[in-house]
Amino acid sequence: MAVKQIQNAFDLIEYFARTRKTASLADIQNHFGWPRSSAYNILNTLVERGYLYEPVRRGGYYPTPRLASVAEAIVSADPLNERLAELLEKLSAETGETAILAAAAGRFSVYLNVIESPSPIRYAGHVGMRIPIHAGASGRALLALYSAAERASLLGKLDFEPYGKNALLSAKAVEEEIAKSLERGWFQSVEEYNADLAAIAIPVLAHERRLAIVVAGPEFRLKDQCNPVADRLRRITADFGFQDIWATPDLAVATG
């Protein structure tokens, strides 16, 4: 269950990221429909912690550089992030499509990094985007890294909604698709979660992390290019020194 106060604080931070301008207490209260006392308490807490300030007295609030410095400290502490970002850049450049790094977050696959395709018609994912873990290539690639018991436990808690015309509507269908993908050598989805979208993914172990590397784009470009795109995806991943599930036979057998 989401904690409302924390959710509101992050909503406010994302609001500033979108608007890129100062906002008064009244602006924030009107935008979110929060009670005045709630809006004031959130603003005051962030001001006291050094995350917001008033550039001009009574001229509205804006984030301080502290937010960026905290985020940078977290990201820069892990050199793996830079290596994975380079991988995605190369993958997007070679395929011409959007390249994504995803990880599991409960019942969802969450995007940790996204390099968008330069094409005007492209898949426009963003960092932090969440997709139901069973409903696309990224999530099923991640599920393949679970033990059979872990996967059965999670699938038993999901709601199988018909998101797209090719959506999988049962745990049995998901398991069958995972088995088929393991045999084929990559995971794919075509119009399962978003109309006119296709994606190819592989599961990767990186310093004991369970990750998925994904190429996503319009169905009309990717549907008939799954084989060559999957080959590039696996080759580039190997070139960067990351181990996919097929390079770990014991794990593939255990999870498959």
pLDDT tens readout for residues 11-31 = 999 999 999 999 999 999 999
- Find the CATH number of the domain harbouring 135: 3.30.450.40
Domain of 21: which CATH number?
A: 1.10.10.10
Of 18, 50, 71, the position where a domain reaches its end is 71
| pLDDT score of 211 | 94
Kindly state whether residues 210 and 99 are assigned to the same domain. yes
| Full domain range(s) for residue 191 | 78-255
In this predicted model, what pLDDT tens digit does every residue of 154-204 receive, in sequence order?
Answer: 999 998 998 989 999 999 999 999 999 999 999 999 999 988 999 999 999
> Side-chain half-sphere of 104: how many Cα atoms within 13 Å?
20
State the pLDDT confidence band at 73, using cuts at 50, 70 and 90.
confident
pLDDT > 60? residue 223: yes
What is the DSSP secondary structure assignment for residue 76, as one 8-state letter?
Answer: H
* Distance, CA of 256 to CA of 144 (rounded, Å): 7
Backbone angles phi, psi at 180, to 5 degrees: -65, -40
Domain count, the chain: 2
d(CA 49, CA 30): 24
Residue finishing a domain among 56, 71, 86: 71
